[in-house]
Amino acid sequence: MKLYDVYPINPIEIDHAKGSYVWDKNGQKYLDMYGGHAVISIGHTHPTYVKNLKEQLNKVGFYSNSVEIPQQKVLAQLLGEVSGKPDYQLFLCNSGAEANENALKLASFYNGRKIIIAFTGSFHGRTSLAVAATDNPKIIAPVNETQNVVFLPFNNVEALNEAFKNYGENISAVITEGIQGVGGIREASVPFLKAIRSLCDQYNAVFIADSVQCGYGRSGRFYSHDYAGVNADIYTMAKGMGNGFPIGGVAIAPKFKPWHGQLGTTFGGNHLACAAAISVLEVIKKDQLLNNATLVGDYLIEQLRSIPEVKEVRGTGLMIGIELNEAYSNLRKDLLQKHFIFTGEAKPNVIRLLPALNLSMEDAEFFLTEFEQAISNYN
């Protein structure tokens, strides 16, 4: 059997990793400014993370949600504390797509409605309803197509108001990222997020804050939507939650009342996944990584904006998009192959920075030096 070929793969085999660095099988060292797509939140092989996972694995690695798993309650309490939302409820699953799928389902259970408002540039996952609410027709199979999703222009308050006038009593949920990732690192504006909150309150619709990539401290706030000063009804999370161990979560406001069988998962919230997620939150809290994301992120953004060849820098904290002219379309490849730095991308010509939240100022300086050198080679 061979692998189903759906990934454009770099010819690099990572052998080991530590902190913000990875080494390939030939011993070449790389600075990781990508974090495996915003997944590595506390650095590779963090000692607290490795220790806790080893200890848990030596006790019990898995049992299903048919028994008491006390680690789930520890995780929920710690998440409520670190996120500043202790009165919310936690449902644990395995991925961001699954988190969004359950959030949209829960919203429909809550108000009995079908219409979902989503936005241009959005990405919410590849499962049935999550992909239907994603603004990329290429990855939506015919079986995923639905008339229940209405796409509006991102950050357009007027269009949002008009949609609620037209569909108001039929709108189940509004789902938006606080910072669009695949969409090119574009922040939801404060007036836009406040309008979503106000209209959802007015029409009893559910505000879903997709925090899968932009959450978990990446923006310098625990949930990137928090800078608008309003609470969503549901927050979804995954990527940075387990520092590489597959886990997702849905934080659910107190007004939602659960019943047995309403949601479910076999693997979600297992012993090992909880050990990973608890470790991440412990390190975020102890090492004040939200502050570090703000400090180092602000510095990177300021310095990048001073580079004449950079067209625009977007984002906040350690979720940064560097937009370049077409002349620099190979710069990301050069950073990887000639300067040994991993970065991400967003079409058509945006380099995404999604490093660990404990990225040091020294590593940020190193990146900036190499980035400017890579650009200078084009001049």
Is the pTM above the cut of 0.75? yes
**The CATH number of the domain covering residues in 14-46+288-376:** 3.90.1150.10
- The pLDDT of residue 37 is above 90: yes
* DSSP element (H, E) containing 305: helix 289-305
What span, in angstroms and rounded, lies between the C-alpha atoms of 209 and 224? 9
Pairing of strands 341-342, 29-32: parallel
Upper half-sphere CA count for residue 26 (Cβ side, 13 Å): 6
Provide, rounded to the nearest whole percent, the portion of the chain with pLDDT above 70. Answer: 100
Domain definitions of the chain by residue range:
14-46+288-376, 82-256
Residues 6+ apart with CB under 8 A from 244: 36, 39, 40, 44, 276
Rounded average pLDDT over 335-347 = 96
Query: What tens digit of pLDDT does each residue of 131-186 get?
Result: 999 999 999 999 999 999 999 999 999 999 999 999 989 999 999 999 999 999 99
What span, in angstroms and rounded, lies between the C-alpha atoms of 45 and 16? 9
Query: What tens digit of pLDDT does each residue of 6-32 get?
Result: 999 999 999 999 999 999 999 999 999
CATH architecture of the domain with range 82-256: 3-Layer(aba) Sandwich (3.40)
Q: What are the Cα distances from residue 116, in Å, to 149, 258, 375?
A: 5, 21, 43
What mean pLDDT value characterizes the chain?
97
Q: Point out which residues pair with 244 in neighbouring strands.
A: none
**Measured CA angle at 126 (ends 122, 128), to 5 deg:** 105
Beta strands, E only, 69-109:
89-93
Q: Can 14-46+288-376 and 82-256 be said to share one CATH topology?
A: no
- The pLDDT of residue 348 is above 90: no
Query: What tens digit of pLDDT does each residue of 61-120 get?
Result: 999 999 999 999 999 999 999 999 999 999 999 999 999 999 999 999 999 999 999 999
**Measured CA angle at 124 (ends 231, 44), to 5 deg:** 90
What span, in angstroms and rounded, lies between the C-alpha atoms of 274 and 269? 6
